[in-house]
Structure 1
Amino acid sequence: MSQRTTYQAARTVAASIEEHFAKHIAEAKEQNEEQLACAPQAAAIEALADAAFWASLRHEEGISPKISLAYLPPEQAGQPLLFEKPFALTPAILTKLAPAVERPGIHLGVWHSNGELQLWGATRTIPSLCFVLEVVEPGLLVIKHRRLDGLGKFANVAVLRGEEVKIIDDQSALVPDCPSLLASLLGLSSTDSWNDSVSVLVQLAISMRNHGRGGSLLVVPAGTDAWRKSIIHPIAYSVAPAFSALADLMLEDKKKQTGSAWSDQLRRAIDGVAGLTAVDGATIISDKYELLAFGAKIGRPEGRAPVGQITMTEPVVGGEPVVANPTLNGGTRHLSAAQFVHDQQDALALVASQDGRFTIFAWSPCENMVHAHRIDALLL
Structure 2
Amino acid sequence: MIGKSTYKAAREVAQIAEDHFTTQIEAAKKLNGNNLATVPPARIIETMIDAAFWASLRREEGQSPKISLAFLPPEQTEQPLLFEHHLTLSPAVLTKLGPGVERQGIHLGVWYEGDYLHIWGTTRSIPNFCFVLDVSEPGLLVIKHRRQDGFGKFVNVAVLMGDQVKIVNEQSSHLPNCPDVLTSLLGFSSLSVWNKSLNVLVQLAVSMRSHKRGGILLVVPAGSDTWRTSIRHPMRYAVGPAYSELTDLMKQKEEKDGENSNWQDELGRAIEAMAGLTAVDGATIISDKYELYAFGAKITRKQGSTPVDKLILTEPVIGGEAMIDQPALSGGTRHLSAAQFVHDQRDAIALVASQDGRFTIFSWSDCENMVQANRIDSLLL
TM-score normalised by length of structure 2: 0.95
Quick one: distance in 1 between partners of 2:298 and 2:206? 23
Quick one: distance in 1 between partners of 2:77 and 2:251? 35
Quick one: distance in 2 between partners of 1:2 and 1:241? 60
Mapping for residues 317-328 of structure 1, pairs under 5 Å? 317-328=318-329
8 A contact 1:67–1:136 mirrored in 2: yes
8 A contact 1:230–1:340 mirrored in 2: yes
**Aligned twin of 1:59:** 59
8 A contact 1:158–1:167 mirrored in 2: yes
List per-residue Cα deviations over 1:166-216 (Å, max 9, x = no partner): 0001111011111111111111356666774x5211111000000011000
Query: Structure 1's 195 and 208: CA in aligned 2 closer, same or farther, altered over 3 A?
Result: farther
Aligned to 2:290, the other structure's residue is in SS state coil
Mapping for residues 19-98 of structure 1, pairs under 5 Å? 19-98=19-98
Mapping for residues 1-380 of structure 1, pairs under 5 Å? 1-2=1-2, 4-187=4-187, 188-189=189-190, 196=197, 199-252=199-252, 254-255=255-256, 257-380=258-381
The residue identity in structure 2 corresponding to 1:374 is R
Which segment drifts farther, 333-342 or 260-269?
260-269
Quick one: distance in 1 between partners of 2:308 and 2:298? 17
8 A contact 1:216–1:351 mirrored in 2: yes
8 A contact 1:195–1:257 mirrored in 2: no
The residue identity in structure 1 corresponding to 2:81 is L
Query: Structure 1's 270 and 24: CA in aligned 2 closer, same or farther, altered over 3 A?
Result: same
Deviation for aligned residue 1:230:
0.5
Quick one: distance in 1 between partners of 2:11 and 2:269? 41
Q: Which runs of 5+ in 1 are unaligned?
A: none
Q: How many residues align?
A: 379
Aligned to 1:288, the other structure's residue is in SS state coil
Which segment drifts farther, 20-29 or 130-139?
20-29
Quick one: distance in 2 between partners of 1:128 and 1:96? 29
Deviation for aligned residue 1:35:
2.9
Query: Identity percentage over the alignment?
Result: 64
Deviation for aligned residue 1:217:
0.4
List per-residue Cα deviations over 1:237-294 (Å, max 9, x = no partner): 1112222222222222632732222222211111111111111111111111111111
Aligned to 2:199, the other structure's residue is in SS state helix
Quick one: distance in 2 between partners of 1:280 and 1:195? 35
Quick one: distance in 2 between partners of 1:230 and 1:194? 36
8 A contact 2:2–2:44 mirrored in 1: no
Quick one: distance in 1 between partners of 2:313 and 2:132? 29
Cα RMSD (Å): 1.6
List per-residue Cα deviations over 1:35-78 (Å, max 9, x = no partner): 32111111111110111111111111222111110111122123
List per-residue Cα deviations over 1:218-238 (Å, max 9, x = no partner): 011111110010011122211
The residue identity in structure 2 corresponding to 1:362 is S
8 A contact 1:350–1:361 mirrored in 2: yes
Q: Which runs of 5+ in 2 are unaligned?
A: none
Deviation for aligned residue 1:161:
1.0
Quick one: distance in 2 between partners of 1:245 and 1:79? 34
The residue identity in structure 2 corresponding to 1:236 is R
The residue identity in structure 2 corresponding to 1:147 is R
Quick one: distance in 2 between partners of 1:127 and 1:264? 21
Aligned to 1:340, the other structure's residue is in SS state helix
List per-residue Cα deviations over 1:104-145 (Å, max 9, x = no partner): 111111111242011111112211111100111111110001
Quick one: distance in 2 between partners of 1:195 and 1:295? 33
8 A contact 1:71–1:111 mirrored in 2: yes
Aligned to 2:200, the other structure's residue is in SS state helix
The residue identity in structure 1 corresponding to 2:172 is S
Aligned to 1:105, the other structure's residue is in SS state coil
